[in-house]
Amino acid sequence: MRNPIFTRSCYYRRTRLLPLLIVNFLLTALCAVAFADNENNRSLVLEDFEAYSLGEEPLGSGLRRVEQVTVVDGGSALNSGHAAHFLDDSDHVGVLEYVVGSQGVDTLFVEFDVINNKPVKNKGPASLIFSVGPWNSSQGILLNAAARRAFGLELHQSGSGKNLGLRVGNSMLQRGTYDHAKPQNVKVWVNDREKLGLAYIRPDNGEEAILDPNSFVVWINGQLISREPASGYPMLAAVTAGDAGIGRIGFNSSTSGRADFTIDNLRVETGKDQTVSPPSQVVSRSARDRQEITPTSLSGAETIAYRSGENSMNLFVFKPKDWKATDRRSALVYFFGGGWTKGTPVKAESWARWAAAQGMIGIAPDYRTHNRFGTSPLESVADGRAAYSWVVAHADELGIDPHRIAVGGTSAGGHVALWTAIGPTPPGSSQKEAPAVKPALLFLSSAVTDTSTATGYTPNRFGDYAEDLSPVHRLDAQMPPLLMFHAVDDELVHYSTAVNLCEKLAASGNQCELVSVPRGGHGYSKGYPEWKSRVRTQVEKFLAQNKLLPAG
């Protein structure tokens, strides 16, 4: 269960407070992929446990300690491949502890998925404790000692009482509950600076917030856990005295109970930020002043330019581990959302990684948006068509069958995706970059399908081209099979537009299936993460029905 948030989701907000991150990661196991982006000064680590065999301890070079943890099939619980099974079934503490940097760091973002495997167990606290601690590679287990943690997030096995807690030292700062039967997506931001705030993006509404110095903030399934919005809690002074003191994260259990949890999709971003402003100055910046960074690389992906010159643009290609140049695999091209205004391929990364895990070629293209390039939806559509056309034209060198390429997208990314399947060239696009082969199928989530002024979603950024860029008004007689997901209470891009598109496709003899999400609005998966799993399951079935799975 990857959150498009991890989707995708947001990590550090890299605005004019451009972080200068100087960290060399030690996680070199194949499943723990690290990279350094010199231009954007950041480092990332992803642990998905895919490189380990079932039943094996996930002991990579970045792990400091691992005890009572084995690799298992994530199955339907987390909708993933391999995952880490944390099973404390003895009288000593279970441990899964990482050293996340080559030296202490100032700021830290951590995200992971976790599910409680014994939701009705009531013998003892049986808690799984996620902790952030000091960077110190010479010490033994640090995170099981309350006095040596900056803070701890406790998820208790028992289904009774207050079963979620935030703890600093031996003091429980807050208690709460969580749904034991459902996967939990946890996001944590930590600021170990003494005077400077940390800007980050709230998972619930996408707005910028400020994390105070020497504080942390925890979000679970898009809900703020700490009581002080955007501020978090002051961390344990003995651990965080001075900047750049943190650098170890991990999970451990208590000795008085048995902990049985599954963990997956552990992601870490960490660094030293030396070019920042005090929190008061950060808060005063208007939304117009925010700046998104165009990624030049994504961990584990090949960066390929699909267009050079003045309007150069990249796409990021994720290949399966057993990929060969002679392959003729199926592929998935997925476009990120953001209203043609914001967003980067980082928001499409989880779908591309998922496709590679299925044996497909996963591709996350970049395209021009207003915040980064000052452009309109015309350029977004033009880039989307050019990116897909490039993939078709270079299918042989990518190991792809050009007739077995699926295209997907979220929100405005769905609008871009639809235009890869429409023959006539829209305004702003080049006939030379028109796709030569239609996608084998489309799947869309909360997609913008109608931009006409009469019935659709038409921001003023469309100018005079609203209907010319409206897919539902420009459909070809023959369209690829389409699977759509749309919330019935979506007040931004109305559910009726999805219904109208599906009805029009069906009336012309094309295949369209609309899955009605009962609630959650435009970003339904933020408030109801179980739908992430349902979407992935149905998409996998749709791909198989249309002979794109198996991928080879």
Beta carbons within 8 Å of 534's beta carbon, 6+ residues apart: none
| pLDDT beyond 70 at 269 | yes
| 207 part of a folded domain | yes
Beta bridge partners of 185: 113
Are residues 197 and 103 part of one domain? Answer: yes
Are residues 222 and 134 part of one domain? Answer: yes
Are residues 370 and 243 part of one domain? Answer: no
| 165 part of a folded domain | yes
| 148 part of a folded domain | yes
How far apart, in whole angstroms, are the C-alpha atoms of residue 240 and residue 238? 6
Q: Give the mean model confidence (pLDDT) for residues 434-456.
A: 95
Beta bridge partners of 116: 261
| 296 part of a folded domain | no
Are residues 524 and 388 part of one domain? Answer: yes
Q: What pLDDT sits at residue 267?
A: 86
Return the percentage of the chain with pLDDT > 70, whole number. Answer: 80
Query: Could you tell me if 457 and 494 are in contact, meaning their C-beta atoms sit under 8 angstroms apart?
Result: yes
Are residues 263 and 310 part of one domain? Answer: no
Q: Give the mean model confidence (pLDDT) for residues 498-521.
A: 96
Query: Could you tell me if 65 and 97 are in contact, meaning their C-beta atoms sit under 8 angstroms apart?
Result: yes
Q: What pLDDT sits at residue 174?
A: 80
Least confident of 58-62, 95-99, 426-430: 58-62
Beta bridge partners of 9: none
For the domain that residue 516 is a member of, what is the CATH number? 3.40.50.1820
The DSSP string of 81-119 is EEEEEEE--SSS--EEEEE--SS-BSEEEEEEEEEES-T
| 276 part of a folded domain | yes
Q: What pLDDT sits at residue 175?
A: 82
Highest mean pLDDT among 4-8, 108-112, 457-461, 479-483: 479-483
- Domain final residue pick, 219, 253, 286: 286
- Domain final residue pick, 243, 261, 286: 286
| 25 part of a folded domain | no
The DSSP string of 491-508 is TTTTHHHHHHHHHHHHHT
Q: What pLDDT sits at residue 538?
A: 96
Are residues 189 and 246 part of one domain? Answer: yes
Are residues 70 and 146 part of one domain? Answer: yes
- Domain final residue pick, 259, 286, 313: 286
Beta bridge partners of 314: 305
Are residues 148 and 51 part of one domain? Answer: yes
Least confident of 8-17, 272-281, 440-449, 508-517: 8-17
Total tally of structural domains belonging to the chain: 2
Q: What are the C-alpha distances in Å from 393 to residues 213, 221, 244, 323, 345?
A: 51, 40, 48, 19, 21
Are residues 279 and 404 part of one domain? Answer: no
| 360 part of a folded domain | yes
Please, what sign has the CA dihedral across residues 516, 520, 521, 524? negative
For the domain that residue 183 is a member of, what is the CATH number? 2.60.120.560
Are residues 336 and 260 part of one domain? Answer: no
Are residues 317 and 270 part of one domain? Answer: no
Q: What are the C-alpha distances in Å from 199 to residues 19, 191, 195, 290, 382?
A: 11, 10, 13, 11, 33
Are residues 270 and 193 part of one domain? Answer: yes
Least confident of 24-28, 130-134, 227-231, 435-439: 24-28
Domain range enclosing 92: 32-286
215, two tokens: 């504080």
How far apart, in whole angstroms, are the C-alpha atoms of residue 459 and residue 342? 14
Q: Give the mean model confidence (pLDDT) for residues 201-222.
A: 84
Instruction: Please state whether the predicted TM-score (pTM) of the whole model is above 0.85.
Output: no
| 398 part of a folded domain | yes
Q: What pLDDT sits at residue 68?
A: 86
Q: Give the mean model confidence (pLDDT) for residues 241-249.
A: 84
